[in-house]
Amino acid sequence: MIQPITFPGLGLSFTINPIAFSIFGMGIHWYGIIIGTGFLLAFLLANKDSNTFGIKQNDVNDFLLVVTPLAIIGARLYYVVFEWSYYKNNLLEVFNIHHGGLAIYGGILTAVLTAYVFTKKRKINTLKFFDFFIPYVALGQAIGRWGNFVNQEAHGVETTLPWRMEIFDPAKMQRVAVHPTFLYESLWNLGLFFFLLWFRKKNKYEGEVFMLYLALYGLARFFIEGMRTDSLYIGTLRVSQMLAGLFFIVCIALFFIRRPKNKRPEANS
What helix, strand, coil percent values describe the chain, rounded to 5? 60, 10, 25
Q: Which residues contact 33 (CB under 8 A, 6 or more apart)?
A: 20, 147
Considering only CA atoms, which of 158, 145, 38, 68 is closest in space to residue 100?
Answer: 145
User: What is the CA 165 to chain-centroid distance, rounded?
Assistant: 21
Instruction: Determine contact, residues 3/167, Cβ cutoff 8 Å.
Output: yes
- Binding residues are 145
The enclosing H or E element of 178 equals: strand 174-178
The one-letter amino acid code at 17 reads N
The one-letter amino acid code at 221 reads R
Distance between CA atoms of residues 229 and 156, nearest Å: 6
- The dihedral formed by the CA atoms of 209, 211, 215 and 216, expressed in degrees to the nearest 10: 10
